[in-house]
Amino acid sequence: MAKIVLVEDDDDIREIVAYALQGAGFEVLGLPSGEGLFATPPPDLIVLDIMLPEDDGLTILKKIRQNQHFNNTPVIMLTAKSSEYDKVKGLDLGADDYITKPFGVMELISRIKALLRRASNVPDLLTHEKIALDHNKRKVTVDNNAVSLTFKEYELLHYLMSNVGLVLSRDKIIGVVWGYDFEGESRTVDMHIKFLRQKLGMCGEHIKTVRGVGYKLGD
Amino acid sequence: MAKIVLVEDDDDIREIVAYALQGAGFEVLGLPSGEGLFATPPPDLIVLDIMLPEDDGLTILKKIRQNQHFNNTPVIMLTAKSSEYDKVKGLDLGADDYITKPFGVMELISRIKALLRRASNVPDLLTHEKIALDHNKRKVTVDNNAVSLTFKEYELLHYLMSNVGLVLSRDKIIGVVWGYDFEGESRTVDMHIKFLRQKLGMCGEHIKTVRGVGYKLGD
DNA sequence: AAAAAACTTTACACAAACTTTACAAAGATA
DNA sequence: TATCTTTGTAAAGTTTGTGTAAAGTTTTTT
């Protein structure tokens, strides 16, 4: 079962949460401070109180992100302040999620599970017909042959493969791939579709034109 | 963070080294003699001057190794004499490493880190193609020939080798290798990639540029 | 204090990636 | 069929990102 380290200075809260997490099937190590956090092998996830006596939570988070062995460990920040500032600051430093006190234990558990799923080194793999896309490696293969794509081509294919069967309008595509501030109206999207179709070889024909609207993959 | 006790009689040296270690993120307790060493819980590591007024360093080391609570604590010996005799004697008694004065502070820090890593039983041998990286010894070889890397070059290569095949964005690289508070936006990362590629010789080409994103090793 | 090493910045060349233009082809409308 | 609209595509034009030399700065060593 997944190992979780819980850093929380308040003894009562720590005990209660630890108990609940154990009840949910996790292996829990509760720590009253960040001390000793790095003394053991990295857990699968860290729950970190933002308000700690010595080193505050953000400092510990920073250390986690700078540590070679811990920097990939997902972190959920626990905070009493719900002010936008703390949220943003925590997220920027690399917290994967945050939750404000008082929080329901069920909510914490479901967020932990979501995060574990997301972070579990199950490679982010999308496939359609003979096309495979590995998002961690940013690598695409057709029938097991590597295909080399440029930045925009890759982003475009990733968007298509994330929405197989759905029609994606030019506007949406431009928004997602080019960014919503993109201006020039022209054949740019079409061009990239063409390049993609070309590079995907016989799989290129799976990208279908929906006249008057946009494009879609499959179906 | 790791607690370190520094036993050194010279006030100046003690202050300077303690300051440097604190700057490196360690919690440091400086002692002018071995007295009081056993009064507190064992630290994560002890730096011990071999030349001390009363009990000399070797005697203290002996006591450390005989003490039930301290005998597993890693010890680095600090010595002015570089004679073989002292080295061997120190090592035989159970010092885990030694370093002769005058020493570079960076060297001390990296040896401390290596020792802490070694003591925390984190396995650390990374290889990729003909590149081998021994994280405990902090040594890199290409096709069994030692390659001498600077601090940042090493950190960068270590990060790459810890994530073979995965694309690492400049942001991530900066975060891990330079620290999240690094500011300057420039060609710094590229420069270090260049140096690395150069030093790795024919293996340099395994570091691949992923245009618009960052770099990756292999695949 | 001087010298060396490590690291960072600047500046610019160049190739890759991206965009536009212009027109051809295909589909829709009447 | 004639006409209008939308999409495909080749080729030319523009922008952007990366590589790298060289100079500048900081840190470490002598």
Rounded distance between C-alpha atoms, residue A28 and residue A7, angstroms: 11
For chain A, list residues whose CB is within 8 angstroms of any CB belonging to chain B. Answer: 35, 38-41, 62-63, 65-66, 68-69, 71, 93-94, 136-139, 150-151
Mean pLDDT of A76-98: 56
Query: Cα distance from B5 to chain A (closest Cα, Å)?
Result: 16
Q: What is the mean pLDDT of residues A43-50?
A: 88
Q: Show me where the domains of chain A are located.
A: 3-119, 125-217
State yes or no: pLDDT of A100 exceeds 90: no
Question: What is the rounded distance in angstroms from the CA atom of residue A111 to the CA atom of residue A119?
Answer: 12
**Topology classification of domain B3-119:** Rossmann fold (3.40.50)
pLDDT for the residue A118: 66
DSSP bridge partners of A173: none
pTM over 0.85: no
- Residues of chain B that touch chain A, judged by Cβ-Cβ distance less than 8 Å: 1-2, 25, 44, 120, 122, 158-159, 162, 165-167, 175-176, 179-181, 210-213, 216, 219
Who contacts B93 (Cβ-Cβ below 8 Å, separation ≥6)?
B58, B61, B62, B65
Closest nucleotide over all strands to B188 (CA to C1') = C8
> Which residues are in reach of strand D, CB within 7 A?
A 187, 190-191, 193-194, 197, 209-214; B 102, 104-107, 170, 187, 190-191, 193-194, 197, 209-214
The stretch A60-80 carries a mean pLDDT of 75
Query: Which pLDDT tens digit goes with each residue over A132-188?
Result: 999 889 999 999 999 999 999 999 999 999 889 999 999 889 988 988 767 667 899
What pLDDT score does A93 carry?
A: 54
Q: Quickly list H helices, A67-187.
A: 84-93, 105-119, 151-161, 170-173
What pLDDT is recorded for position A219? Answer: 82
Given this model, what pLDDT does residue A87 score? 44
The pLDDT value given to residue A54: 65
Mean pLDDT taken over chain A:
82
> Do A3-119 and A125-217 share a fold?
no
- Is there a contact between A138 and B167 if contact means CB atoms under 8 Å apart? yes
| Mutual angle of helices A11-23 and A105-119, in 10-degree steps | 60
Radius of gyration of chain B (CA): 20
CATH class name, domain A125-217? mainly alpha
Q: Give pLDDT, residue B15.
A: 80
Residue A4 neighbours by CB under 8 Å, 6+ apart: A21, A26, A27, A28, A29, A43, A44, A45, A46, A47, A112
Which nucleotide lies at the shortest CA–C1' distance from A189? C19
Q: What does the pLDDT look like over A56-67, one tens digit per residue?
A: 777 788 778 766
Q: Average pLDDT by consecutive 10-residue portion of chain B (219 residues)?
A: 85 79 81 83 85 70 77 77 47 65 67 74 74 87 94 94 91 81 79 97 96 94
